[in-house]
Structure 1
Amino acid sequence: MKERGTRTRSTLGLAGFLVVLVTALGAHAEPPSSTLPGRKPDSWEPWGAFLGRAAHTAVGIEYSARHPARVVFLNTASLSRIVKEGKLGDPERLSELVRLLRPDITDTSARVLFEVKPDNEKSHAEAREQARRYLAALNEAVDPDKKLVGGTGFEGSLFLEFENGGALWQLSWRTPEPGVTLYRWSYRRKKPHASWKERAAQKEEALPREEVEHRGELAEQAIRAAYEGGKRPKGFQGQVYLPGDCH
């Protein structure tokens, strides 16, 4: 009875988490202030959504690139798939309420998990709570010797140069506590004829909104192409300097 009561409280807690998650998603669906470049004509989203997607893409792919021999699931994989394909246990142990949830980074070889959020106080707290909930759900379904914990020691930085001497964006991330990875975007002013490293040494500034609206369509595409060795997106005349280039 005690075990059943514990499981019931856990399930109710996860249900509450889902309610909060759905509410948050609903809030993001409110009428935005602008269209995002590169989206379908009838697709509307807040301009900042593009930065979030680009950051999640970069941070997730970078983690996978650093650990090519490991089994890593990014935020397209559900908890059910992670348990099954990661050979952690029986996905049927997951309740219907949680099996479709998708953590940002789950490394089933190292048995660690990361939740990726913007680097601010509110998002930090949200990341901590989501990581805790995901770990609780997974660890109820996995075998006793395959429990997961929050990952640590994951940090890095990359730069996007849009023209020679033109706009320079930086994406950096850190993991201040187990399971919580926080990212932020910053900007360096134009400085013609200067190398990207010289401009990277300039004063860091907040990324201007007009920069995002003007160049946002290229950020995620350029980052993905740089990691995957694909063709650079149309209209992108600059370079992507990945973490290995930034040392």
Structure 2
Amino acid sequence: MKSSGSRTRSTLGLAGFLLVVVAALGARAEPPSSKLPGRKPDSREPWGAFLGNAAHDAIGREYRMQHPFNAVFLDANLSTIVGDGKLGNPKRLSKFVGLLRPDITDTRLLVLFEIKPDDEESRSEGREQVGRYLAALNEAVEADNKLTRGTGFEGTLFLEFENGGVLWKLSWRTPEPGVTLYRWSYRRKQPGASWKERAAQKEEELPREEVEQRGELAEQAVRAAYGGGERPKGFQGQVYLPADCR
């Protein structure tokens, strides 16, 4: 009995040690916490995810603006797209599949886009996601409502801070059907130069401190520019949408 008790204590001790090790490794694997303005202090979302959210919002709104008479669904689930888009019977989708959410679906042109950062891993992921979405949708829609991968969607917008300060650029392209890739970049201050002159400056990676300092303002400014609302408090600059950049 004494030997059995010792083995039990040893087993429990080893299990406890392994749990500690696993927890420690998991903590190291977690993304860095975000302290962006407007976020909850205990948020564990990677700081770069904010730029992704802002890009998705801007790119989706721009597509809708370019196609004002189309039925455009932004981040809607497949059941809603099939039903509200009058494409077929959403009951043909399983409960799980019906919850999948493509980034942009145009049920007039019958095309679909997935928005991803401009790198090879994300591009591959987007390609696979579009394939899954289309396979599911085209099983549920009527024969003459089959969807395909969208093409030819690209654009650029600029955010100018402090009326002559730094310049942010968001650009996107669709290098392969269905996959729209975006990229944020940065131009340093150049006193006395117009935003177009600074747009021609050398493109740099957007510094993390810029995102932390201006992330909330950037997101609010883009929303206001597309929604026609008032510019956010503290934003002393301009938003140049794709129509302004052509």
Query: Retained in 2: the 8 A contact 1:35–1:46?
Result: no
1:44-92, CA deviations, whole angstroms, 9 ceiling, x for partnerless residues? Answer: 42110110001000100000000000000001x1100000000000000
Q: How does 1:168-183 map to 2 (within 5 A)?
A: 168-183=167-182
Query: TM-score when scaled to structure 2?
Result: 0.86
Query: 2:198, 2:31 → 1: CA distance?
Result: 37
* Pairwise CA distance, 1:37: 1.3
1:84-139, CA deviations, whole angstroms, 9 ceiling, x for partnerless residues? Answer: 00000000000122101110000000000000000000000001000110011100
* Pairwise CA distance, 1:220: 1.5
SS in 2 for 1:99: helix
* Pairwise CA distance, 1:31: 4.8
**What residue is the counterpart of 1:74 in the other structure?**
74
Q: How many residues are treated as equivalent by the alignment?
A: 220
Query: 2:128, 2:172 → 1: CA distance?
Result: 19
Q: How does 1:49-198 map to 2 (within 5 A)?
A: 49-75=49-75, 77-198=76-197
What residue identity is the alignment partner of 2:54? A
* Pairwise CA distance, 1:32: 2.4
What residue identity is the alignment partner of 1:199? R
Greater Cα shift, 230-239 or 29-38 = 29-38
**What residue is the counterpart of 1:46 in the other structure?**
46
SS in 2 for 1:38: coil
What residue identity is the alignment partner of 1:87? K
SS in 1 for 2:156: strand
What residue identity is the alignment partner of 1:34? S
**What residue is the counterpart of 2:37 in the other structure?**
37
* Pairwise CA distance, 1:218: 1.3
What residue identity is the alignment partner of 1:63? Y
Task: Give identity over the alignment, percent.
Answer: 77
Give ranges in structure 1 of 5+ residues lacking alignment. Answer: 1-26
* Pairwise CA distance, 1:41: 3.4
What residue identity is the alignment partner of 1:52? G
Give ranges in structure 2 of 5+ residues lacking alignment. Answer: 1-26
Query: 1:52, 1:219 → 2: CA distance?
Result: 12
Query: 1:208, 1:36 → 2: CA distance?
Result: 13
Query: 1:99, 1:33 → 2: CA distance?
Result: 32
**What residue is the counterpart of 1:18 in the other structure?**
none
Query: TM-score when scaled to structure 1?
Result: 0.86
Q: How does 1:229-244 map to 2 (within 5 A)?
A: 229-244=228-243
Query: Retained in 1: the 8 A contact 2:34–2:43?
Result: no
Query: 1:116, 1:219 → 2: CA distance?
Result: 19
**What's the RMSD between the two structures over aligned residues?**
1.6
* Pairwise CA distance, 1:174: 0.3
